[in-house]
Amino acid sequence: MTTSHSIRTGLACRCPRCGKGRLFDGYLKLAPACTQCGLDYDFADSGDGPAVFVIFLVAPIVIILALVVGSLWTIQPWMHLVLWLPTTVILSLALLPPFKGVLINLQYANDAHEGRS
């Protein structure tokens, strides 16, 4: 399995083995197993990784947009809050499932496990 396949199936929130079954039962809750190939998702533990990557992506986007808007138009500080707080929340919530899917798919593809001594 290639890294590009893992990224594509992860972004689609699909099973890392077959690429067809759903990865999540709910918003971020993993399904117990793939409905297509039966892969048990007990191995999957993405931890805080998806949140970190989403923060690293969303923060610069929102900051750049805020700077561009601030340089093109003169708006009140409260208007920046009205614009950028919802933008940050919506972008973060929209990107969390695909990022979690990618990390779980990469974990499966690279046979990654928790460190043991």
Q: What is the pLDDT of residue 116?
A: 59
Task: Tell me if 8 is assigned to some domain.
Answer: yes
Vertex 56 angle, CA 23 and 60, to 5°: 130
Query: Is 37 contained in some domain?
Result: yes
- Position 1 scores a pLDDT of 62
Question: Is residue 116 a part of any domain in this protein?
Answer: no
pLDDT at 29: 92
Q: pLDDT value at position 67?
A: 95
Instruction: List per-residue pLDDT tens for the chain, 117 residues long.
Output: 678 888 999 999 999 999 899 999 999 999 999 998 989 998 888 889 999 999 999 999 999 999 999 999 999 999 999 999 999 999 999 999 999 999 999 999 988 777 655
Q: What pLDDT does 45 receive?
A: 86
| Contact yes or no for 99/53 (Cβ under 8 A) | yes
In a domain, 94, yes or no: yes
Per the domain annotation, does 117 fall within a domain? no
Q: Number of folded domains in the chain?
A: 1
Predicted pLDDT at 105: 94
Q: Which domain holds residue 79?
A: 3-109
List CB contacts of 5: < 8 A, sequence separation 6 or more.
19, 109
Task: Look at residue 115 and tell me if it is in a domain.
Answer: no
Asked whether residue 91 is assigned to any structural domain, the reply reads yes
Q: Are 5 and 96 in contact (CB under 8 A)?
A: no
**Which pLDDT does position 88 carry in this prediction?**
97
- Residue 56 covered by a domain: yes
Q: Return the ∠ at Cα 105 (arms to 50 and 9), rounded to 5°.
A: 100
Q: How far apart are CA 99 and CA 101, in angstroms?
A: 5
Q: What is the rounded CA–CA span in Å between residue 100 and residue 95?
A: 9
